[in-house]
Every structure is written in C-alpha cells, then in structure tokens.
Amino acid sequence: MHRVELSIRHALKCRGCGVCVEKCPNNVIAIEYGVAVIGNGCVHCGQCIEVCPVVKFG
C-alpha cells in the first residue's frame, strides 16, 4: 500500500528531471511528455523512488 501511494505521488508530481531514468537497473523508465513513465519489467526495487527529488521533498 505504501508503495502504491509513492507511485501515485511519483506520477502526479513528476517534473521529468530524468534522475530516476539513470538510476533504474532494468532501464524501464522513460520520459514521455515531460513525465516519467515506468514500462514493463519493473521489479519494484524502489531505487527510482529513492533518488526522486519530488517524492523525497514533495
């Protein structure tokens, strides 16, 4: 549940900074129309959330 909440905040507040794109070990994050989109292959490791400045401070 906690993870879902973080994912939603991710989607709503994302500024497309691209930090998470570099961090994902599976390379499943892309920036589309200015926001991060997580594609197939996400293993829910949480690394993208750890580095996201929006989720951390938002």
Q: Site size for ligand SF4, by CB under 6 A? A: 25
**28 Cβ partners below 8 Å, 6+ apart?**
38, 39, 40, 41, 42
Among residues 16, 22, 40, 57, the one that binds ligand SF4 under rule CB under 6 A: 16
Task: Give the closest residue to 46 by CA, choosing from 23, 27, 30.
Answer: 23
Q: How far is the CB of 5 from ligand SF4 (least distance, A)?
A: 14
Q: Does 38 bind ligand SF4 (CB under 6 A)?
A: yes
Cβ proximity to ligand SF4, 2 vs 48, nearer residue? 48
